[in-house]
Structure 1
């Protein structure tokens, strides 16, 4: 059986992983990681009287950037009060990789829910400035385990061609739904600057209609994705 490579989820279980890094796309070499606290507060005043939070936003951003590799300290900072929580999030969620993991799918759902519920305080979405969509082969294989096993499992030779096709179609539909949810979340981010799309999977008209709603100043669609018929 022959699959159309860029229309099949199986292609995402192999292939090279395109993660952000050396290309530095859409990013100045001396650019700080975190957005400024005043930016992610979305016009709301700081409510804390802590002396730390009276410092200029630029200095606070430099401080949390120094803690970028200290997860424990950032988590502790986030527990102090709502202002400190948002300050910590500036660093924790400055760059998000949609890697098809369950955690990221849950984050996408939360971002959409936060946007629709109009929270009285700023949420995570305001802190995200860079997004990379790069499904990790491990997460794809884990999510679509039956499809993976039908090709690479110990009993793969006994799986009928028709059954593989059914599994492939189901996985493709599930992937497209998950991708649409991610794109909806991405389009809700008010301070997004850069979007890098790494998945080598066909894009359709619906994708482009949604992605044009995002606020990103730089959009990079890397790879050789084909367009589905009708675009």
Structure 2
């Protein structure tokens, strides 16, 4: 099971975040599951195929034809429904109210006093519910009123003075919205047996009944986005909000501890908060034997209870991403020398732009032991790398992969002026490095460069030796050109010549790193992925300087800033 809890910043609350689930449209439910195992009696030609091939054919059927298909017979109707209702949205619209009322009617059609036991649930006759795989809850205008709700009798059964289908549903809110949520909670548990994921996209205050329904639903993936726990308009309500939110998180974790494999908790940053208003777990949280990937971002903690619950001495986490800039997190990590027996990926982003803050955080890791750390990615928000931090990194002799970056991390602005001489000297103790990457790096050209001077012609060594430049010249040589064409050609020549010069400079830099680090195999520098070829062991005896460097190979002809490529190479889960 995967749970994602996200609370956007107040500063960025104007735009809706992208839905985390489903990342791509779910394949419809297979026909045998949508048909509840009943034998197929239709003579429609499609049903002569094996069931496994049905949904390889249905994507080629238009929506209009699907509607026509549903009128042929029951099996055709169920096949069409498995496509049309694979992903549905519950809102306060009339169409959504009708859908929910239909689902509740299916539950009660054969058993007016619905039982909640598994045997009773399996004996019910479903038609629409088994077709639903993904649900989005997006509750907003138009709001409900009693007159609209009265048109849907199975929903109003959850109102005051009526007998509920599910006696376990407690009616603490008797407003039309509360009645709707009570009915929706019942549908989550009993009406959709093939439900795969739930995407909660609304700021409705979650009740314990709704949370319990989500836990008991068949869904394997649940995503909370824009969830509203309390308004948080003042300090007192903010404290209640923190308690309410962390209580719900703790309840979720307790219910899914045995099967939880990935957990991402994105809190809300606020400079006005202090540790007394932070998050903490109030009771012992169970172990997470299946948890492999953990992300905590912007979660301000009052004590170590949250970290201790996830990173106990029995943790099996293999991918850890922390973006919690507080001293408590740093002090906790000092006492944790284990993440996994397998080569771990450790992403720790707690540096700020304040040099004094960086100094205070950087001094404590001198006492840390990272003897088993093999992969490291660090990002500084400042436009330089502090020498103290580089000295600490150089003590991690077990590192095999290192990715460093600083400055602005998005857009056209690259404001980290990299100092390779400093890096070569500072990182020299890392003699077992195999992969080295520098992203968002920039370079200063002293006293200008001839390619930047538009008054001087390009020499043949700067232009015509490049194959791309030769192609441009060959295509236009001997042709009469207008002034604008000549100017465009000159710009192409200058651009191609600069790119060739830049590739040559980066190749020289990588060769320097290859000579310093005997096991280095791959570099990313100057937006260029570069591999290093060395002499084989049969040709060159392995010694203190490693294998001899025979060739520096640029893997791409053009610069590329593909962060996902680096993330895949570093094995990040997010």
Same fold (TM over 0.5): yes
Name the CA distance, whole Å, in 2 between partners of 1:226 and 1:97.
21
Name which of 36, 52, 59 aligns with 1:65: 59
Q: CA 1:35–1:223 in structure 2 vs 1: closer, same or farther (change >3 Å)?
A: same
Name the CA distance, whole Å, in 2 between partners of 1:24 and 1:37.
27
The answer as to 2:29 corresponding to 1:35 is yes
Q: Provide the residue aligned with 2:223 in structure 1.
A: 220
Matches within 5 A, 1:1-231: 23-27=19-23, 29=24, 32-67=26-61, 70-118=62-110, 122-137=126-141, 139-140=142-143, 143=144, 173-188=175-190, 189-226=192-229
Q: CA 1:100–1:82 in structure 2 vs 1: closer, same or farther (change >3 Å)?
A: same
Structure 2 spans left out of the alignment, 5+ residues: 1-12, 111-122, 146-172, 231-240, 249-574
Name the CA distance, whole Å, in 2 between partners of 1:129 and 1:57.
18
Q: CA 1:102–1:135 in structure 2 vs 1: closer, same or farther (change >3 Å)?
A: same
Q: Does structure 2 retain, via aligned residues, the 8 Å contact 1:199–1:223? A: yes
SS of 1:212's equivalent in the other structure is helix
Q: CA 1:76–1:215 in structure 2 vs 1: closer, same or farther (change >3 Å)?
A: same
SS of 2:175's equivalent in the other structure is helix
Name the CA distance, whole Å, in 2 between partners of 1:32 and 1:174.
32
SS of 2:194's equivalent in the other structure is coil
Name the CA distance, whole Å, in 2 between partners of 1:135 and 1:129.
19
Which protein has the larger Cα radius of gyration, Structure 1 or Structure 2?
2
Q: What is the TM-score when the length of structure 2 is the normalising length?
A: 0.29
Q: Provide the residue aligned with 1:160 in structure 2.
A: none
Name the CA distance, whole Å, in 2 between partners of 1:45 and 1:197.
36
CA-CA distance at 1:17 after TM superposition: 8.4
SS of 2:193's equivalent in the other structure is coil
Pick the structure with more strand per residue: 2
Q: Relative contact order: is structure 1 or structure 2 higher (C-alpha 8 Å, sep ≥ 6)? A: 1
Pick the structure with more helix per residue: 1
Name the CA distance, whole Å, in 2 between partners of 1:17 and 1:105.
27
Q: Provide the residue aligned with 2:233 in structure 1.
A: none
Deviation per CA, 1:67-115, whole angstroms, max 9, x where unpaired? 3xx3321110000011100000011100000121112112111111202
Name the CA distance, whole Å, in 2 between partners of 1:200 and 1:218.
19
Q: CA 1:211–1:120 in structure 2 vs 1: closer, same or farther (change >3 Å)?
A: closer
SS of 2:78's equivalent in the other structure is helix
Q: Does structure 1 retain, via aligned residues, the 8 Å contact 2:106–2:125? A: no
CA-CA distance at 1:178 after TM superposition: 1.0
SS of 1:195's equivalent in the other structure is strand
Q: Does structure 1 retain, via aligned residues, the 8 Å contact 2:199–2:222? A: yes
CA-CA distance at 1:202 after TM superposition: 0.9
SS of 2:199's equivalent in the other structure is strand
Q: Provide the residue aligned with 1:147 in structure 2.
A: none
Q: What is the TM-score when the length of structure 1 is the normalising length?
A: 0.68
Name the CA distance, whole Å, in 2 between partners of 1:120 and 1:225.
35
Name the CA distance, whole Å, in 2 between partners of 1:97 and 1:211.
16
SS of 2:33's equivalent in the other structure is helix
CA-CA distance at 1:32 after TM superposition: 4.9
SS of 2:211's equivalent in the other structure is helix
Name the CA distance, whole Å, in 2 between partners of 1:194 and 1:18.
19
